[in-house]
Chain A
Amino acid sequence: MGKIMLEVNNLKTKYVTRFNESVYAVDNVSLRLEEGESMGIAGESGCGKSTLALSLMGYYFAPLHHIEGSIIVEGKDITKMTPDQVRKTVLGTEISYIPQAAMNALNPTQKIIRFIENVIHAHDPGMPKNRIYEMARDRFEVLNLPEEVLEKYPVELSGGMKQRTVIAISTILSPKVLIADEPSSALDVSSQKMVIKMMRELMKNGFIKSMIFITHELPLLYNVTDDIMVMYAGQIVEKGTAKEMVFDPLHPYSKGLMGSIIVPEAGTRDAKLTAIPGTPPNLKNPPAGCRFAQRCKYAHAACKVQSIEEVRLKDGRMYRCILDQNELKEGKK
């Protein structure tokens, strides 16, 4: 058991719309990330993946609001800190973030090195610029990025290079936890591979201690992360190791999700792709019982009324369903 890097307990956050309506986008999420561990979060569009990523940073600004739950980093609950404390002591140094749209993540009128200076000065205002340059150059060298990139403007970089630059900047202060929100979804396959390779190198070199990787591309998660959590309508519906989740999913939603993609493994040639009918519920007023019940082919009458608790199995696996493990396994056939 490694050291615990991040512990999240019953985190709840919401969006407040301009008409003052609340949308409960992250509901009761708990997770624990150990040193050296990488965790994948999967789910379809609009299920709350990106919102979870933002909520985990502990830095809330409108329209996102924290309701309850704790985020513990280094023994400290960052939800109890003032925003400025979080900004100064947590963001970038403890928890860092790779945004979904790296194409526009950099200020177009600023050289890369100027931005890196701003990032480092936000945490260590006194560091001289030549030190920052050396630091950035060394880090870029390790990550196989050309040094010239530092003196360039974002517009002069290709898409893949921009993404890798963003990853290098996000991890320049060697954060304990890196939250990567679909870092490769806008890239072609060869650039994706480079991004994944880079993430592995970051881990290997100890530049990041642990990682949360969010994507809708499950085969990618299978190759990158140790564990996978599946999210649906703001809740974690199942958690297990990457292998279990891909080859032996329990929760009906996970099954649907895994059934809708091809995993590049032996024996999948004959498999048929299936789709999950329907769309996720509106989270302004989430359904009372199981949130997936409306689309679930195994749903009972009880599913729609009674609230569904998490079921934790001995081996660390977790799922949120009214059925027990064996019933779920049988249902698979």
Chain B
Amino acid sequence: MKGYLKYFSNKTAWYLLTLVVAVILNFLLPRLTPGNPVATIASKAVAGMTDANAIQKVYEDYTRMFGLDKSMPEQFLLYISNLFKGDLGVSFSYFPREVSDLIGSAIGWTVALQLPAILVGWFLGNLLGAVAAYIKGPVDKVVFPVFLFISNVPAFGMAIIILFVFGIYLKWFPSSGGYGFDLIPALNMKFILSVIRHYQMPFWSIVLTTIGGQAIGMRSMSIYELNADYVKYSRFLGIKDKVIVKYVFRNAMLPQITGLVLSLGTMVGGALVAEMIFSYPGLGTRILNAVTGQDFPVISGCTLIITVGVLLANLILEILYGLIDPRIKTAQQE
């Protein structure tokens, strides 16, 4: 137990260090890109103005407001002290909306789309892989390769095919948005139904591209475990196949859990492709807009969320692994 605690305090220290470095990079990298965000924003404000002095004034106002007149180290210290207060700053392009407010309104959509899609895709993929390995036959010869093929269609291709077939040709589902454009978000039946209908295409486009990748991993792990020595030994001691299959799939699952937790960690980054093609609200679109508009605070805010998500997922994975796999736990205690 002592070794275990030492291992994790060690790990946590490393993760904190990683976080610090990531925060610095999150701040620095967007600001090192060429171009001036004030120019883009101010040029809209000064449209039609002719007085050079007034235009100059507007520019200066914006620069001051965004804090861009200060030196880079000053900006950084300000950013850090605000971060400790839970303040991510104010968006440039959506001035004066707060970054936390922008992220908050998008992250719900992203999580609601990604979390079930990843879980369902992961579950179906593993199920398919396990069945293909254990029962073989038509599942292994037909269903499995079909999903493998589908998974190798690039995500944007898959989304476009689904959009075209089910949205435009069959007209089963609305082709864009998170809910009907004529509706105001509220907890009524009409709105919820509209959300569910808009949800289907982005959801399945993610699920379908996830299944095959998961299935191929699970299939080969299961085949490997099915031929393990302990399976033969257990059989010759009279243990029922039903019990042995449980050993096999539990052990085959272990590496698959890594994939699941890590994709849940990067999940908050948004499903950019699905969000763009189905014009679905979410963090992916937010990041894209922020990057094109050089909206530094929003970029830093989003990347911070992603950083924290990935690091947390890694830490949780380490702890979880120690609990579910005694081999890892032994290594952690050493």
Residue A213 is within 8 A (CB to CB) of chain B in the complex: no
Q: How far is the CA of A117 from the CA of B230 in the complex (A)?
A: 15
- Which B residues have a C-beta under 8 Å from some C-beta of A? 228-230, 232-240, 243, 247, 250-251, 254, 324-327, 330
- List 17 A-B residue pairs with CB atoms under 8 Å apart, sorted by A's residue number: A88-B238, A91-B235, A91-B237, A91-B238, A96-B236, A97-B236, A99-B232, A104-B229, A106-B233, A118-B243, A119-B234, A119-B237, A122-B237, A122-B239, A153-B326, A155-B330, A169-B237
Contact of B233 among A59, A93, A99, A109 (CB under 8 A): A99
Report A132 CB to chain B, min CB distance, Å. 14
Q: How far is the CA of A210 from the CA of B180 in the complex (A)?
A: 79
Whether A87 lies near B330 (C-beta < 8 A) is no
Q: How far is the CA of A103 from the CA of B251 in the complex (A)?
A: 17
Determine the residue in chain B with the shortest Cβ distance to A169: B237
Whether B239 lies near A109 (C-beta < 8 A) is no
Q: How far is the CA of A97 from the CA of B330 in the complex (A)?
A: 29
A85-115 interface with B by 8 A CB criterion: 87-88, 90-93, 96-97, 99, 101, 103-110, 115
Residue A174 is within 8 A (CB to CB) of chain B in the complex: no
A39-89 interface with B by 8 A CB criterion: 54, 57, 59, 61, 87-88
Q: How far is the CA of A272 from the CA of B250 in the complex (A)?
A: 53
Determine the residue in chain B with the shortest Cβ distance to A123: B238
Report A152 CB to chain B, min CB distance, Å. 9
Whether A109 lies near B324 (C-beta < 8 A) is yes
Whether A87 lies near B326 (C-beta < 8 A) is no
Report A243 CB to chain B, min CB distance, Å. 32
Contact of B238 among A92, A103, A155 (CB under 8 A): A92
Enumerate chain B residues within 8 angstroms of A108, measured Cβ to Cβ: 230, 251, 325-327
Whether B240 lies near A109 (C-beta < 8 A) is no
* Residue with the highest number of chain B CB atoms closer than 10 Å, among A93, A106, A118: A118
Residue A21 is within 8 A (CB to CB) of chain B in the complex: no
Contact of A119 among B230, B239, B324, B326 (CB under 8 A): B239
Whether A118 lies near B235 (C-beta < 8 A) is no
* Residue with the highest number of chain A CB atoms closer than 10 Å, among B238, B239, B325: B238
Enumerate chain A residues within 8 angstroms of B251, measured Cβ to Cβ: 107-109
A-B contact count (CB 8 A): 80
Q: How far is the CA of A199 from the CA of B172 in the complex (A)?
A: 72
Residue A38 is within 8 A (CB to CB) of chain B in the complex: no
Whether A57 lies near B228 (C-beta < 8 A) is no
Q: How far is the CA of A11 from the CA of B190 in the complex (A)?
A: 74
Q: How far is the CA of A122 from the CA of B235 in the complex (A)?
A: 10
Enumerate chain A residues within 8 angstroms of B234, measured Cβ to Cβ: 107, 115, 118-119
Residue A156 is within 8 A (CB to CB) of chain B in the complex: yes
- Which A residues have a C-beta under 8 Å from some C-beta of B? 54, 57, 59, 61, 87-88, 90-93, 96-97, 99, 101, 103-110, 115, 118-119, 122-123, 153, 155-156, 166, 169-170
Whether A87 lies near B229 (C-beta < 8 A) is no
What are the 10 tightest A-B residue pairs by CB atom distance, in nearest-first order?
A: A153-B326, A91-B238, A104-B229, A92-B238, A97-B236, A105-B233, A122-B238, A92-B237, A122-B239, A107-B230
With A153-B326, A153-B327 known, 10 other A-B pairs at CB within 8 A are: A54-B236, A91-B236, A91-B238, A93-B238, A96-B237, A105-B233, A108-B326, A109-B326, A110-B247, A123-B238
Enumerate chain A residues within 8 angstroms of B239, measured Cβ to Cβ: 118-119, 122
Q: How far is the CA of A54 from the CA of B326 in the complex (A)?
A: 30
- Given contact pairs A107-B230, A107-B247, A109-B251, A97 touches B237 in the complex (Cβ within 8 A): yes
Whether A87 lies near B233 (C-beta < 8 A) is no
Determine the residue in chain A with the shortest Cβ distance to B238: A91
Report B134 CB to chain A, min CB distance, Å. 13
Report B221 CB to chain A, min CB distance, Å. 13
Whether B250 lies near A122 (C-beta < 8 A) is no
- Given contact pairs A104-B229, A110-B247, A119 touches B238 in the complex (Cβ within 8 A): yes
Report A297 CB to chain B, min CB distance, Å. 39
Whether A99 lies near B238 (C-beta < 8 A) is no
Enumerate chain B residues within 8 angstroms of A104, measured Cβ to Cβ: 228-230
- Given contact pairs A99-B232, A107-B251, A118-B243, A87 touches B325 in the complex (Cβ within 8 A): no
Q: How far is the CA of A91 from the CA of B230 in the complex (A)?
A: 15
Report B109 CB to chain A, min CB distance, Å. 38
- Given contact pairs A104-B229, A105-B229, A155 touches B327 in the complex (Cβ within 8 A): yes
Report A277 CB to chain B, min CB distance, Å. 33
Report A123 CB to chain B, min CB distance, Å. 6
Enumerate chain B residues within 8 angstroms of A166, measured Cβ to Cβ: 233
- Given contact pairs A107-B230, A109-B250, A110-B247, A170 touches B237 in the complex (Cβ within 8 A): yes
- Given contact pairs A108-B251, A109-B250, A59 touches B235 in the complex (Cβ within 8 A): yes
Contact of B326 among A59, A105, A155 (CB under 8 A): A155
Q: How far is the CA of A122 from the CA of B241 in the complex (A)?
A: 10
Report A53 CB to chain B, min CB distance, Å. 9
Enumerate chain A residues within 8 angstroms of B254, measured Cβ to Cβ: 109
* Residue with the highest number of chain B CB atoms closer than 10 Å, among A88, A103, A108: A108
Q: How far is the CA of A107 from the CA of B245 in the complex (A)?
A: 12
Q: How far is the CA of A110 from the CA of B233 in the complex (A)?
A: 14
Determine the residue in chain B with the shortest Cβ distance to A152: B326
Q: How far is the CA of A88 from the CA of B243 in the complex (A)?
A: 14
Enumerate chain A residues within 8 angstroms of B235, measured Cβ to Cβ: 59, 61, 87, 91
Determine the residue in chain A with the shortest Cβ distance to B325: A109
Report B44 CB to chain A, min CB distance, Å. 61
Report B244 CB to chain A, min CB distance, Å. 9
Enumerate chain B residues within 8 angstroms of A109, measured Cβ to Cβ: 247, 250-251, 254, 324-327
Enumerate chain B residues within 8 angstroms of A106, measured Cβ to Cβ: 230, 233
Q: How far is the CA of A105 from the CA of B232 in the complex (A)?
A: 8
Determine the residue in chain A with the shortest Cβ distance to B233: A105
* Residue with the highest number of chain A CB atoms closer than 10 Å, among B228, B232, B254, B324: B232
